[in-house]
Protein backbone atom coordinates (compact mmCIF):
# COMPACT_ATOMS: atom_id res chain seq x y z
CA UNK A 1 0.00 0.00 0.00
CA UNK A 2 1.28 3.48 -0.84
CA UNK A 3 1.65 5.65 2.28
CA UNK A 4 0.79 9.30 1.85
CA UNK A 5 1.23 10.32 5.47
CA UNK A 6 4.63 9.57 6.88
CA UNK A 7 4.81 8.34 10.48
CA UNK A 8 5.24 11.22 12.88
CA UNK A 9 3.40 13.01 15.67
CA UNK A 10 0.06 11.28 15.21
CA UNK A 11 -1.20 7.92 13.99
CA UNK A 12 -2.66 8.04 10.47
CA UNK A 13 -5.10 5.58 8.92
CA UNK A 14 -5.15 5.02 5.18
CA UNK A 15 -7.34 3.03 2.85
CA UNK A 16 -6.69 1.02 -0.26
CA UNK A 17 -8.78 3.53 -2.21
CA UNK A 18 -12.23 3.48 -0.65
CA UNK A 19 -13.82 5.20 2.31
CA UNK A 20 -12.68 5.02 5.92
CA UNK A 21 -15.17 4.17 8.64
CA UNK A 22 -15.40 4.56 12.42
CA UNK A 23 -17.29 1.59 13.88
CA UNK A 24 -18.19 1.25 17.56
CA UNK A 25 -16.19 -1.62 19.08
CA UNK A 26 -19.39 -3.19 20.40
CA UNK A 27 -20.63 -3.84 16.85
CA UNK A 28 -17.35 -4.59 15.02
CA UNK A 29 -18.36 -8.25 14.46
CA UNK A 30 -21.39 -7.06 12.47
CA UNK A 31 -19.34 -5.07 9.91
CA UNK A 32 -18.63 -7.43 6.98
CA UNK A 33 -16.59 -4.99 4.89
CA UNK A 34 -16.21 -6.12 1.28
CA UNK A 35 -16.93 -9.74 2.32
CA UNK A 36 -20.31 -11.37 2.18
CA UNK A 37 -22.76 -12.98 -0.18
CA UNK A 38 -25.21 -10.12 -0.22
CA UNK A 39 -25.92 -8.14 -3.37
CA UNK A 40 -24.52 -5.03 -1.72
CA UNK A 41 -21.74 -5.54 0.82
CA UNK A 42 -21.20 -3.23 3.77
CA UNK A 43 -18.29 -1.76 1.80
CA UNK A 44 -20.61 -1.09 -1.16
CA UNK A 45 -23.01 0.70 1.20
CA UNK A 46 -20.14 2.83 2.55
CA UNK A 47 -19.07 3.74 -1.01
CA UNK A 48 -22.57 5.15 -1.63
CA UNK A 49 -21.98 7.93 0.92
CA UNK A 50 -21.32 10.97 -1.25
CA UNK A 51 -21.09 13.59 1.49
CA UNK A 52 -17.99 14.17 3.62
CA UNK A 53 -19.63 12.12 6.40
CA UNK A 54 -22.61 9.83 6.71
CA UNK A 55 -24.02 7.17 9.00
CA UNK A 56 -24.70 3.51 8.26
CA UNK A 57 -26.54 1.08 10.52
CA UNK A 58 -24.32 -1.64 11.99
CA UNK A 59 -25.88 -4.07 14.45
CA UNK A 60 -27.82 -2.01 16.98
CA UNK A 61 -25.63 1.04 16.41
CA UNK A 62 -24.26 3.13 13.55
CA UNK A 63 -20.89 3.64 11.92
CA UNK A 64 -19.53 6.99 10.78
CA UNK A 65 -18.41 6.87 7.13
CA UNK A 66 -15.80 9.30 5.85
CA UNK A 67 -16.92 9.83 2.25
CA UNK A 68 -15.60 12.04 -0.52
CA UNK A 69 -11.99 10.86 -0.89
CA UNK A 70 -9.72 8.27 0.74
CA UNK A 71 -7.51 10.81 2.56
CA UNK A 72 -5.17 9.75 5.36
CA UNK A 73 -7.06 10.40 8.58
CA UNK A 74 -6.17 10.78 12.24
CA UNK A 75 -8.04 11.74 15.40
CA UNK A 76 -6.89 14.74 17.43
CA UNK A 77 -8.47 14.27 20.85
CA UNK A 78 -7.59 17.79 22.01
CA UNK A 79 -9.81 19.16 19.22
CA UNK A 80 -12.39 16.31 19.22
CA UNK A 81 -11.73 16.20 15.50
CA UNK A 82 -10.79 13.71 12.82
CA UNK A 83 -8.30 15.42 10.50
CA UNK A 84 -8.03 14.32 6.88
CA UNK A 85 -4.74 14.99 5.06
CA UNK A 86 -5.71 16.27 1.61
CA UNK A 87 -2.52 18.26 0.80
CA UNK A 88 0.47 19.45 2.79
CA UNK A 89 4.23 19.25 2.43
CA UNK A 90 4.64 17.74 5.89
CA UNK A 91 2.76 16.47 8.90
CA UNK A 92 4.05 19.44 10.92
CA UNK A 93 2.65 21.86 8.34
CA UNK A 94 -0.72 20.10 8.29
CA UNK A 95 -1.04 19.91 12.08
CA UNK A 96 0.04 23.56 12.47
CA UNK A 97 -2.88 24.54 10.22
CA UNK A 98 -5.54 22.77 12.29
CA UNK A 99 -6.34 25.63 14.74
CA UNK A 100 -6.78 28.14 11.88
CA UNK A 101 -8.81 25.60 9.92
CA UNK A 102 -11.14 25.01 12.87
CA UNK A 103 -11.59 28.77 13.36
CA UNK A 104 -12.42 29.48 9.70
CA UNK A 105 -14.26 26.30 8.65
CA UNK A 106 -17.58 26.60 6.85
CA UNK A 107 -19.29 23.58 8.33
CA UNK A 108 -21.77 21.36 6.51
CA UNK A 109 -25.02 20.33 8.16
CA UNK A 110 -24.52 18.26 11.31
CA UNK A 111 -25.58 14.65 11.75
CA UNK A 112 -26.39 13.08 15.11
CA UNK A 113 -24.35 10.00 16.00
CA UNK A 114 -25.25 7.93 19.06
CA UNK A 115 -22.03 6.30 20.23
CA UNK A 116 -21.96 3.39 22.71
CA UNK A 117 -18.27 4.05 23.53
CA UNK A 118 -14.89 3.46 21.88
CA UNK A 119 -14.85 3.39 18.07
CA UNK A 120 -12.28 1.97 15.65
CA UNK A 121 -11.28 3.93 12.53
CA UNK A 122 -10.21 1.71 9.62
CA UNK A 123 -10.60 0.99 5.88
CA UNK A 124 -14.26 0.16 5.21
CA UNK A 125 -13.21 -2.78 2.99
CA UNK A 126 -11.99 -4.75 6.03
CA UNK A 127 -14.41 -6.89 8.03
CA UNK A 128 -14.76 -5.61 11.59
CA UNK A 129 -13.21 -8.72 13.13
CA UNK A 130 -10.04 -8.10 11.03
CA UNK A 131 -9.95 -4.32 11.45
CA UNK A 132 -7.03 -4.37 13.88
CA UNK A 133 -4.85 -6.32 11.41
CA UNK A 134 -4.59 -3.24 9.16
CA UNK A 135 -4.15 0.49 9.69
CA UNK A 136 -6.53 1.46 12.47
CA UNK A 137 -6.93 3.90 15.33
CA UNK A 138 -8.98 3.28 18.48
CA UNK A 139 -10.80 6.43 19.61
CA UNK A 140 -12.07 6.33 23.19
CA UNK A 141 -15.33 8.28 23.28
CA UNK A 142 -17.64 8.59 26.26
CA UNK A 143 -20.97 6.92 25.40
CA UNK A 144 -23.73 9.25 24.32
CA UNK A 145 -25.05 11.39 21.48
CA UNK A 146 -22.70 13.51 19.36
CA UNK A 147 -23.21 16.19 16.75
CA UNK A 148 -20.85 15.50 13.84
CA UNK A 149 -19.96 18.20 11.35
CA UNK A 150 -17.54 18.27 8.44
CA UNK A 151 -15.68 20.87 6.42
CA UNK A 152 -12.97 21.15 3.79
CA UNK A 153 -10.49 23.93 4.63
CA UNK A 154 -7.38 25.51 3.11
CA UNK A 155 -5.47 27.04 6.04
CA UNK A 156 -2.40 27.80 3.89
CA UNK A 157 -1.52 28.19 0.21
CA UNK A 158 -0.32 24.58 -0.10
CA UNK A 159 -2.29 23.04 2.76
CA UNK A 160 -5.74 21.49 2.39
CA UNK A 161 -7.44 19.37 5.00
CA UNK A 162 -10.75 17.88 5.89
CA UNK A 163 -12.22 18.22 9.34
CA UNK A 164 -14.81 15.99 11.00
CA UNK A 165 -15.56 17.41 14.41
CA UNK A 166 -17.48 15.68 17.21
CA UNK A 167 -19.44 17.67 19.79
CA UNK A 168 -20.95 15.85 22.77
CA UNK A 169 -24.67 16.57 23.15
CA UNK A 170 -26.58 16.54 26.42
CA UNK A 171 -28.55 13.45 27.11
Which tens digits make up the pLDDT trace of 82-100?
A: 999 999 999 999 999 999 9
**Is residue 3 assigned to a domain?**
no
Domain interval for residue 155 = 20-168
State pLDDT tens for residues 10-31: 899 998 888 999 999 999 999 9
Q: How far is CA 125 from the centre of its chain?
A: 14
User: Other C-beta atoms within 10 Å of 97: how many?
Assistant: 20
- Would you tell me how many other CB atoms lie within 10 Å of the CB of residue 107? 13
In a domain, residue 89? The reply is: yes
Residue 47 class from Cβ within 10 Å (0-12 exposed, 13-18 middle, 19+ buried)?
middle
4 within domain boundaries: no
- The reply to whether 114 falls in a domain is yes
Question: 111 in a domain, yes or no?
Answer: yes
The predicted model scores a pTM of 0.90
Our count of domains for the chain comes to 1
Q: Is the residue at 96 inside a domain?
A: yes
Amino acid sequence: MVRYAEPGAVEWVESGGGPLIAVPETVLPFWAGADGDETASDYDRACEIEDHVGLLPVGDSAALVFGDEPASTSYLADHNTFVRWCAADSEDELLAGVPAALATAEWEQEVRWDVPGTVVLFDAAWPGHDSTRADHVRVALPPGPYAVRAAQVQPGPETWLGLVQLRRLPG
